[in-house]
Structures are given as C-alpha cells and as structure tokens.
Amino acid sequence: MTLNRVFACVVSAGLLISSSLTFAQSSFKLPDLGTSALQALPLEKEKAIGEVMMMQIRSGSPLLQDPVLNEYLTSLGNRLVANANDVRFPFTFFWINNPAINAFAFYGGHVGVHSGLIAQSDNESQFASVLGHEIAHVTQRHLARRLQQAQDNSALTIAGMITGILATVIAPDAGMAIIAANSTQAALSQLTHSRKAEQEADRIGMQTLHNAGFDTTQSAEFLSKLAAQMRFKNKPPAFLLTHPLPDSRVSDVRLRAQQYASVNLPESPKFQLAKSRVLARNHYTSEEAQAYFERQLKRSSKLDDSALEYGLALSLLDQKKYQLSGNLIAKLLKKEPDNLFYLDAYTDILIGQKKAADAVKMLHKKHEFRPNNQVITLNYANAAIEAKQYDKAEQLLKIFLLDKPEHTLAIELLSSVYKKQDNKSAYHEIKASLLAQYGAYIQAADEVQRALNHVEKQETVKESRLKALLSQYRQMQKELAKL
C-alpha cells in the first residue's frame, strides 16, 4: 500500500471514530471557566483547552496526515515562530483537507491550515503572511483575553462559546449558524476577531514576517485578493467570516508594509512543490490534475518547471501510470537526489511496480543520513511492510514513535505491522494508543482489555504493564471529565 492510500485510511478511520465517540465524548468537560476563573486564564489551562479541542478536531475533521506536507508546514511555521515575540509554548501546525481559503489558531499554540490556502496563494510570502497573522493571535492571546472579558457570562455560556469557536474555525459559515441559532448576538460577536485584535495581529504578524525574511508587501496583496473575491461572490471566503475585512484594512496593511525595506525574493521551490502536491492530490481528480499540469507546462516560459513536472508525475502516479510517472520523477531526482517530495513519490512508484525491495534499498541509504526525518522514515517503513520485511518496519516505527509518540500515521503503520505478524496483543495495544489520540479513552481501555486477553501466562511483565495502561486510560477519562 502506498503512503497516499495510508493517508486516506487514516482520514477514514478518524471520521469513523468520530461517529463512534458519542459515549466517550459525552463525558468531556471543558476546564472550569466560572466567572471567578475569568480574572485570569493561566497558560496551563489554556493549553489544556487546546488539547481538548485538538482531540475533537482529530476525531471529526478531515486532517491531512501527509508527512511531506506536514514537514513543509511545520518547517515554515517554526521559522515564523522563531522570529515572533511573546512565544510561551511550542506551536503545532496541521492541515485540514478543505478547498476553502482559511487558517485559524486557538488555545495552546495550535494552528490549522486549510489546503485551499496554499492552493490560492501566489507565493510563499503570501502563505507565510497568513501563518504569521495566526501566530500573532496566539501570542497576543486574543481568544483567552475575550474569555477573560466575558465576566458577565455563566460558565455554561462560556463553555458553549468555546464549542462554538471550535465549530467556527473549522467551518465558519456552519459555526456561525450554530451560534446564531443558540445564543445571543453578543456571543456571536465573540467568535469573530475584533477590529482591534485584527489590527494587532496584522501589525505583529507583519513584524514576524519581516523578521523571518519574507516580503511584507505580500500581506496586502493577499488581503486584496480576498477583497476581490468578496466583490464577485455572494458568500465571502471562509477566512473573512472570522477575520473581518473592513475597507480600511487593506490600505492600513499596505501602508504598514511600506515601513519595511523591500525585498526581492526568489521563488521558493518547496512552496511550489507543496502547492503542486495539494492541487494534484486534494483539489483535482487525477485526470483533471493531469490535464491542468500538462496545460501549465505548455504555457510556461520558466527555465525550471520542476514543480509542474512533479504535479504531473503525481497525477500519473495516482492513475497507476507508473512508467510515465517514474520517468518524470527519475529526471527530477537526478537533479535533486535528496529532495523529500521526489523521494516520497518515487517510493510509491516502486511499490506500485511491485519493487518494494528496491525502495527499501534506496531509503536505507537516505535513512542513514537523516534517521529522524518523518518523510524518509515513514516511507522506509511502508516500503519494508510491502516487501514483507516486518521486523525492519517494526523497529523503524518503534524508534520513530519514541520521538513522536502522537504521530497518527506512524501508529497506523505499526498497527498494520502487528496485524500482518498476527501479534494480536500488540495490535490491540497500539490501536488503543490511536483511539487515545481522539480522546476516546473508554474505547482505548476496551482495546487494552482485548490485548490482555492475548497475553501468554508466562508474560507476567507484559501483563502488569497492560494492566497499568488500562488503569491509566480509565483515569485519563476521569481527568478529562473534570479538566
């Protein structure tokens, strides 16, 4: 199975888990936010709220579990965070498979990006300008400050507002409708950033953008693009439902950008490759993508069309035209033998051609030089599974998960290994850890109980460990309920 297929399986599993979480999530209680607590929202409580919301997003949203795109987004996001002020905790960046132009940030440094944002961005500075803006909302604690200001609301109303914020950042038009139907206009206004908050995020986000070496003028260019869409569409872009765009905002941002020295940046190859990947895999059918990239290649006057050729190769790969796709990727790899985008695609091509052992050999060498890279490690493990080298795949994934214990795709791959090895105890235990990612601790405890049923009598240490894990999951459910 190619990693592209594994991505789809993980997304489907998440959505299926979402439908089965009624009992587990019915006991979710957000942190106690009674009026006395609103005088100050401690960072630890803010992080706890963020974790609860992230669990709900994992269980009910089409997250893109794509190591190549995740690597790019995390690298870009961390570059901006490293150049931001008032950073209080590590940030987490994640993709949502949604064609809408949108990004959002919430408690605890979580920043979600819709795939439509990069598809509609003309360059990396435009894309980064939105990320910088969202990072500023977190560092300035705009959501937390709004909760602190709502001292006349009851704890129940505030908890409802948090739920509304979650709905709104994922699907703004639906979220607004939910709140409008169930709350007051005052509560509805809490879900959109105030003009003051937007101005602050624009100002601080632009400083971060400049510090990170991007072109600040692209902030205004991107807002102008959104403003143009407002003029020609009945429904504004999703981003503008939670980030108001008064007439003065574009001109304010444009004037602010002029305070910084202009920069003439070369095109970012990684941005173009990531955009091509999103267009090929998430915004067009494979046939439509092939036609699109062939058309763009005919029109192009660039000296380097690598990103377009890569997108065409992906569209051919997804149609199982392995020879044609392989020819394109082999040419690209010859120029950049360590490019992660190309290595990922070539691995899938080899697996599709029933040459998984060749992929293992190729990735073994790459892994020696970059042992902690998620793209290389997960492709290597997946190729090993396809080559029936299960012990190698198990070792790779267990070491990888020591560093990234919550990596959903790695957990899913390891569960596949255990299933093929017929290791039922380990299979149910790793499934429990996957369920825990969605906050489904009751179901996770059930999986640990199934794991215990397959422990041999002489495996006393393993039995003790699983019993401790069972107790831990049950306790986590209780803790989550009183968080």
Answer yes or no: are the C-beta atoms of 367 and 377 closer than 8 Å. yes
HSE on the CB side for 330, CA within 13 Å? 8
Task: Quickly count helices (H) and strands (E) in the chain.
Answer: 26, 3
CA angle 101, 226, 219 (to 5 degrees): 95
What contacts 173, CB < 8 A, 6 or more positions away? Answer: 235, 238, 241
- Phi first, then psi, for residue 95 (nearest 5°) are -100, 145
- Catalytic member of 66, 134, 309, 348: 134
Buried/exposed code over 418-450 (b: 16+ C-beta within 10 A; e: otherwise)? beeeebebbbbbbbbbbbbbbbbbbbbbbbbeb
Terminal C-alpha separation, the chain: 40
| CA distance linking residue 447 with residue 328, whole number of Å | 45
Identify any residues that bridge with 110 across adjacent strands, giving them in sequence order: 92, 106
Is 446 a residue of the active site? no
- Catalytic member of 71, 124, 202, 318: 202
Question: From the annotation, which residues make up the binding site for Zn(2+)?
Answer: 133, 137, 198
Answer yes or no: are the C-beta atoms of 444 and 436 closer than 8 Å. yes
Q: Tokens 């602010």 sit at which residue? A: 256
Is 200 a residue of the active site? no
| CA distance linking residue 360 with residue 346, whole number of Å | 11
Active site (catalytic) residues = 134, 202
